[in-house]
């Protein structure tokens, strides 16, 4: 059974495709994840080709910014802080960490553009978190792929979302991907990630659409 999603789901998501924290990996990114990220950006019209005819795997993950490099450095050369000031700084640091945790984003959807550069290198299959996505042959198309709750949970645990690119319809060609966009939501909005969440609390959604759409 195909998962169903609200028709307006992408209107509520945050596009994190250009964020510095978004990192690509997998054998499809080889040793140049930043180059692959640039090529897969919809803004520059580039693309990537799988290193082999059998396809490849891309992973996307959101890394937290390293903002702690200056912690402790500002006190060099100064007198030792009092016990009270140390306690206050510790409390503030804990509060900041808690706030950052609440604002942490979780990947909840991807969009994949295929066939824009050429339809001769279209993959005949892609899988997102192991779920096969039906593709159209010979057509330029965006595939909108929201993740299920289970897929989001697996992504959080593994720290990445996987996109597997299968071989091309023409088996003599290496499959090509034109663009990938990644969408996220604050972790606090993901009620099923909370320790006390019960699936019985989930709201049933009557208005659903297919997992992919054409633009």
Phi, psi angles (nearest 5°) of residue 129: 55, 35
pLDDT in tens, 73-105: 444 444 555 555 555 555 555 444 434 443 589
Write down the residue that tokens 């900041």 correspond to. Answer: 96
Is residue 89 one of the residues assigned to a domain?
no
pTM score of the predicted model: 0.74
Q: What's the pLDDT at 2?
A: 59
**117 to 89, 113, 138, 163: CA distances (angstroms):** 54, 10, 12, 20
pLDDT in tens, 124-160: 999 999 999 989 999 999 999 999 999 999 999 999 9
Q: What's the pLDDT at 8?
A: 66
- CA separation for the pair 146, 107 (Å, rounded): 9
Is residue 156 one of the residues assigned to a domain?
yes
Is residue 208 one of the residues assigned to a domain?
no
Residues 6+ apart with CB under 8 A from 201: 191
135 closest CA partner among 110, 169, 162: 169
CA 191 to chain centroid, in Å, comes to: 18
- State yes or no: pLDDT of 193 exceeds 60: yes
Work out how many domains the chain is built from and give that number: 1
Domain range for 117 is: 10-63+110-188
Q: Which CATH number goes with the domain that contains 29?
A: 2.60.120.260
- State yes or no: pLDDT of 176 exceeds 80: yes
68 closest CA partner among 49, 43, 93, 37: 93
Is residue 119 one of the residues assigned to a domain?
yes
Is residue 207 one of the residues assigned to a domain?
no
CA 76 to chain centroid, in Å, comes to: 39
- In this predicted structure, which of 19-28, 59-68, 158-167 has the lowest mean pLDDT? 59-68
Q: What's the pLDDT at 111?
A: 95
- CA separation for the pair 166, 123 (Å, rounded): 6
């Amino acid at each position: 059974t195909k998962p169903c999603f609200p028709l307006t789901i992408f209107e509520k998501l945050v596009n994190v495709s250009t964020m510095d924290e978004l990192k690509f990996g997998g054998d499809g990114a080889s040793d140049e994840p930043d180059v692959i990220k640039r090529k897969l950006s919809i803004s520059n019209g580039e693309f990537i080709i799988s290193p082999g005819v059998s396809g490849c795997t891309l992973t996307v993950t959101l890394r937290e910014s390293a903002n702690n490099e200056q912690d402790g450095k500002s006190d060099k050369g100064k007198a030792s802080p009092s016990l009270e000031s140390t306690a206050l700084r510790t409390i503030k640091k804990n509060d900041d960490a808690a706030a950052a945790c609440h604002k942490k984003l979780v990947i909840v959807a991807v969009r994949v553009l295929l066939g824009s550069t050429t339809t001769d290198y279209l993959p005949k299959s892609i899988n997102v978190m192991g779920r096969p996505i039906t593709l159209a042959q010979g057509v330029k198309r965006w595939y909108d792929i929201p993740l299920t709750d289970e897929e989001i949970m697996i992504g959080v645990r593994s720290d990445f979302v996987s996109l597997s690119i299968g071989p091309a319809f023409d088996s003599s060609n290496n499959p090509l991907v034109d663009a990938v966009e990644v969408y996220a939501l604050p972790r606090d909005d993901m009620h099923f990630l909370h320790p006390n969440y019960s699936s019985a609390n989930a709201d049933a959604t009557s208005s659903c659409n297919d997992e992919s759409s054409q633009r």
